[in-house]
Amino acid sequence: MLSVNILLAACLGYVFLLFTVAFVVDRRTREGPINWLHSPVIYTLSISVYCTSWTFYGAVGSAARNGLEFITIYLGPTLVFVGWWWLLRKLVRIGRAHRVTSIADLISSRYGKSSSLAVLVTLIAVIATTPYIALQLQSVTSSYQVIAGETDGVTTAFWVAAGMALFTILFGTRNLDANERHHGVVAAIALEAIVKLLALIAIGIYATFFVADGLADVFADVPKEIIQSSGDVFGPKWVILMFLSATAIICLPRQFQVTVVENIEERHLATASWLFPLYLFGMTIFIMPIALVGLKVMPAGANPDLYVLTLPLAEERHELALFAFLGGFSSATSMVIVAAIAVSTMVSNHIVMPIALRLLAAGRAVSGDVRNLLLISRRISIGLILGLGFLYFYVSGGSEALAAIGLIAFVGVAQFLPSLVGGIFWRGATRAGAISGLIAGASLWAYTLFLPSFGGQFILSPDTLAYGPWGLNFLRPQGLLGLSDMDPLVHAVIWSVGVNALTFIVVSCFTQADVLERLQGTLFVDVFRSAGGAPTTQTTGTAETEDLFILAQRILGTQPARDLFDEMALAQGIDSGLPHATDTVISRLERELAGSIGAASAHAMVTRIAGRQTVGMSELIDIADETQELIETSRQLADKSAALERTARQLRVVNERLRTLDAQKDEFLSQVSHELRTPMTSVRSFAEILMENKETPPETTARFMSIIHDESIRLTRLLDEILDISSLEAGRIELILEDIVASTALQRAIDTLSGVTHKEGVEVNVTGDIEGLITQANDDRLRQVLINILSNAVKYNTSESPRIDIRTHASDLNIFIDIIDNGGGVSREEASSVFEKFARGSSAGSNQGAGLGLPISRAIMRAMNGDLTLEFSSDGTSFFRVSLARA
Partner 1 sequence: MAGNSDLQLSRRKTRDKSFALLILGVVLLMPPIVRTSLFEGSVFGIPYTVFYMFLVWAGLIAGAFLLSSRLRDTDKSLQSDANRELVE
Binding residues for partner 1, rule: CB under 8 A, are 68, 71, 75, 78-79, 81-83, 85-86, 89, 93, 214-220, 222, 224, 227-228, 234-235, 238-239, 242, 265-267, 269-271, 273-274, 277-278, 281, 285, 288
Write down the H helix ranges in 298-415.
Answer: 307-314, 318-347, 353-363, 370-396, 405-414
- Is 224 or 732 the residue whose CB approaches partner 1 more closely? 224
- Is 278 or 687 the residue whose CB approaches partner 1 more closely? 278
In the chain, % helix, strand, coil (3-state, to 5) comes to: 70, 5, 25
Least distance between partner 1 and beta carbon 265 (Å): 6
Q: What is the DSSP string of 282-315?
A: HHHTTHHHHHHHHHHHS-TTS-GGGHHHHHHHHT
- Is 207 or 337 the residue whose CB approaches partner 1 more closely? 207
- Is 60 or 128 the residue whose CB approaches partner 1 more closely? 60
Query: How far apart, in whole angstroms, are the C-alpha atoms of residue 403 and residue 54?
Result: 8
Least distance between partner 1 and beta carbon 51 (Å): 15
- Is 45 or 789 the residue whose CB approaches partner 1 more closely? 45
Residue 778 · residue 736 · CB < 8 Å: yes
Least distance between partner 1 and beta carbon 242 (Å): 7
Handedness of CA 78, 81, 85, 87 (dihedral sign): positive
Query: How far apart, in whole angstroms, are the C-alpha atoms of residue 195 and residue 10?
Result: 13
Residue 552 · residue 609 · CB < 8 Å: no
Residue 514 · residue 550 · CB < 8 Å: no
Write down the H helix ranges in 512-616.
Answer: 515-525, 545-556, 558-571, 583-597, 599-610
Least distance between partner 1 and beta carbon 40 (Å): 10
- Is 222 or 735 the residue whose CB approaches partner 1 more closely? 222
- Is 217 or 805 the residue whose CB approaches partner 1 more closely? 217
Least distance between partner 1 and beta carbon 635 (Å): 22
Least distance between partner 1 and beta carbon 529 (Å): 12
Q: Residue 254 CA to chain centroid, in angstroms? A: 29
Classify 659 as helix, strand or coil. Answer: helix
Least distance between partner 1 and beta carbon 215 (Å): 5
- Is 277 or 477 the residue whose CB approaches partner 1 more closely? 277
Least distance between partner 1 and beta carbon 92 (Å): 10
- Is 76 or 616 the residue whose CB approaches partner 1 more closely? 76
- Is 117 or 269 the residue whose CB approaches partner 1 more closely? 269
Closest CA to 58 of 275, 328, 268: 328
Total Cβ atoms within 10 A of residue 395: 12
- Is 271 or 865 the residue whose CB approaches partner 1 more closely? 271
Query: How far apart, in whole angstroms, are the C-alpha atoms of residue 209 and residue 203?
Result: 10
- Is 204 or 598 the residue whose CB approaches partner 1 more closely? 204
Least distance between partner 1 and beta carbon 276 (Å): 9
CA distances from 565 to 92, 559, 579 (A): 28, 10, 7
- Is 37 or 68 the residue whose CB approaches partner 1 more closely? 68
Residue 397 · residue 457 · CB < 8 Å: no
Handedness of CA 613, 614, 619, 625 (dihedral sign): positive
Least distance between partner 1 and beta carbon 288 (Å): 6
Least distance between partner 1 and beta carbon 496 (Å): 21
DSSP state letter for 464: H
Measured in residues, the chain has a length of: 887
Count of alpha carbons within 13 Å of 560, Cβ hemisphere only?
A: 17
Q: How far apart are the first and last CA of the chain?
A: 122
- Residue type (1 letter), 792: N
- Is 153 or 277 the residue whose CB approaches partner 1 more closely? 277
Least distance between partner 1 and beta carbon 168 (Å): 29
- Is 229 or 381 the residue whose CB approaches partner 1 more closely? 229
- Is 186 or 432 the residue whose CB approaches partner 1 more closely? 186
Count of alpha carbons within 13 Å of 672, Cβ hemisphere only?
A: 16
CA distances from 17 to 54, 156, 340, 854 (A): 24, 20, 20, 110
Query: How far apart, in whole angstroms, are the C-alpha atoms of residue 597 and residue 115?
Result: 12
Least distance between partner 1 and beta carbon 43 (Å): 13
What letters, b where the CB count within 10 A reaches 16 and e where it falls short, cover 183-214? bbbbbbbbbbbebbbebbebbbebbbeebbee
Q: What is the DSSP string of 783-843?
A: HHHHHHHHHHHHHT---SS-EEEEEEEE-SSEEEEEEEESS----HHHHTTTTSTT---TT
Least distance between partner 1 and beta carbon 219 (Å): 6
CA distances from 859 to 722, 778, 780, 820, 883 (A): 12, 13, 14, 21, 13
Least distance between partner 1 and beta carbon 593 (Å): 23
- Is 220 or 617 the residue whose CB approaches partner 1 more closely? 220
Least distance between partner 1 and beta carbon 535 (Å): 18
Residue 86 · residue 329 · CB < 8 Å: no
Query: How far apart, in whole angstroms, are the C-alpha atoms of residue 629 and residue 372?
Result: 46
- 489: CB partners within 8 A, 6+ apart: 237, 240, 241, 407, 411, 449
Bridge partners of residue 880, in order along the sequence: 819, 870
Total Cβ atoms within 10 A of residue 373: 18
CA distances from 206 to 311, 312, 319 (A): 10, 8, 12
Least distance between partner 1 and beta carbon 481 (Å): 25
